[in-house]
């Protein structure tokens, strides 16, 4: 895969696929663990994340939503780097890979994953695709919370133990909130462009200052929920080791004015997701 395709996959956002699978699997680790469902769940999440990134690139590109004021990495279609039909084929390929892995996962766990998977792929496409994309109606963060939080984490837990739990639900909220934070940074970066082209993201709806305040609340709440996990697993308090990085990210976001700083914020947010995944997963596995 050439660099242009790697950039189009938006690797800085892929931490959103890792976090829910790691947390859900770790919650089930000492109760029931099988490597195949864990690997398949991770492939589903990765392929879906890359697929939605390509699909968004395609849909925004053909609609002209990537205006001249947009900052951040160059879009494949919007910048004319790759023909639209090739980006569409790449999105379809990744969605197919996600669907095939999900089908395999459903056959070894529960067939209910099939309709859930169909909803996930439909949501990925209609985020910016179709005649009435919900991503243009300030619903992007809601979608991310549901699919890369609630569904991803609880689903990863369920395929291991075939039940749900309050602990897994709390972990899913942590994953969902951190993924919302990642999306908010992305949309804060694109605030001027989205406003100019009529793309009604949550950031455009609330305004930049209010959105930054909401971002602080979301990230702080995710950390508090991480502490709450210590009621089940005392070692979960090691999540507090991420506090310095949280403050660093909040400072960067509140002061960001240019694309270089926003890129730094996005990178640090991805690191925070990986760090939280590592700390909480380790604590769950160690304490049982």
For residue 198, the model assigns a pLDDT of 82
For residue 287, the model assigns a pLDDT of 81
For residue 228, the model assigns a pLDDT of 96
* Pick from 178, 183, 162, 150: nearest CA to 278: 178
Alpha helices in the chain (DSSP H): 3-8, 15-28, 35-63, 84-108, 113-126, 140-145, 152-161, 166-189, 191-197, 202-206, 208-228, 243-255, 259-287
Q: What is the pTM of this model?
A: 0.93
The string of pLDDT tens digits covering residues 46-64 is: 999 999 999 999 998 898 7
Tens place of pLDDT per residue across the chain (288 aa)? 468 899 899 998 999 999 999 999 999 998 889 999 999 999 999 999 999 999 999 998 898 776 555 566 668 998 889 999 999 999 999 999 999 999 999 999 999 999 999 999 999 999 989 888 998 899 999 999 999 999 999 999 999 999 999 999 999 999 999 999 999 999 999 998 888 888 899 999 999 999 999 999 999 999 999 999 999 999 999 999 999 999 999 999 999 988 899 999 999 999 999 999 999 999 999 886
Q: Please report, to the nearest 10 degrees, the dihedral formed by the alpha carbons of residues 200, 202, 206, 212 taken in order.
A: -140
Structural domains present in the chain: 3-287 (1.10.600)
| Greatest Cα pair distance in the chain | 52
For residue 68, the model assigns a pLDDT of 54
Q: Are 210 and 226 in contact (CB under 8 A)?
A: no
Q: What is the DSSP code (8-state) at residue 64?
A: T
Q: Are 272 and 241 in contact (CB under 8 A)?
A: no
For residue 274, the model assigns a pLDDT of 97
d(CA 94, CA 280): 29
Neighbours of 200 (CB within 10 A): 15
Neighbours of 29 (CB within 10 A): 18
For residue 69, the model assigns a pLDDT of 53
The string of pLDDT tens digits covering residues 180-201 is: 999 999 999 999 888 888 889 9
For residue 75, the model assigns a pLDDT of 81
| Bridge partner residues of 200 (DSSP) | 137
Give the number of residues written for the chain.
288
Neighbours of 259 (CB within 10 A): 14
The string of pLDDT tens digits covering residues 9-54 is: 999 899 999 999 999 999 999 888 999 999 999 999 999 999 999 9
Q: Are 193 and 71 in contact (CB under 8 A)?
A: yes
Q: Are 110 and 162 in contact (CB under 8 A)?
A: yes
For residue 130, the model assigns a pLDDT of 86
d(CA 19, CA 260): 25
Query: CA dist 125 to 59, 186, 226, Å?
Result: 9, 18, 31
Q: What is the DSSP code (8-state) at residue 238?
A: G
Neighbours of 217 (CB within 10 A): 10
| Residue 26: CA count within 13 A, CB half-sphere | 24
d(CA 45, CA 53): 12
- The residues near 104 (Cβ < 8 Å, ≥ 6 apart) are 40
d(CA 87, CA 84): 5
């Amino acid at each position: 895969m050439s660099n242009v395709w790697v950039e189009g996959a938006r690797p800085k956002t892929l931490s959103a696929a890792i976090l829910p699978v790691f947390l859900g699997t770790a919650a089930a680790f000492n109760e029931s663990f099988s490597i195949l469902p864990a690997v398949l769940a991770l492939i589903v999440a990765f392929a879906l994340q890359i697929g939605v990134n390509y699909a968004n690139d395609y849909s925004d590109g053909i609609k002209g939503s990537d205006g001249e004021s947009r900052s951040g990495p160059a879009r494949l279609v919007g910048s004319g780097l790759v023909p639209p039909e090739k980006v569409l084929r790449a999105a379809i390929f990744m969605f197919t890979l996600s669907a095939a892995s999900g089908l395999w996962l459903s056959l070894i766990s529960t067939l209910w994953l099939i309709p859930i998977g169909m909803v996930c792929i439909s949501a990925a496409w209609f985020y910016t695709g179709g005649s009435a994309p919900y991503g243009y109606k300030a619903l992007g963060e809601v979608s991310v919370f549901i699919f890369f939080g609630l569904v991803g984490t609880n689903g990863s837990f369920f395929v291991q133990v075939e039940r749900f739990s309050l602990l897994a639900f709390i972990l899913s909220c942590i994953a969902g909130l951190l993924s919302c934070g990642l999306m908010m940074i992305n949309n804060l970066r694109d605030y001027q462009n989205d406003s100019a082209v009529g793309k009604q993201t949550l950031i455009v709806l609330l305004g930049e200052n209010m959105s930054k305040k909401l971002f602080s609340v979301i990230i702080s709440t995710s950390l508090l929920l991480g502490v709450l996990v210590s009621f089940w697993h005392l070692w979960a308090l090691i999540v507090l080791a991420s506090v310095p990085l949280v403050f660093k990210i909040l400072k960067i976001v509140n002061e960001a004015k240019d694309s270089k700083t926003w890129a730094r914020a996005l990178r640090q947010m991805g690191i925070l997701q990986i760090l939280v995944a590592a700390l909480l997963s380790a604590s769950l596995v160690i304490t049982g």
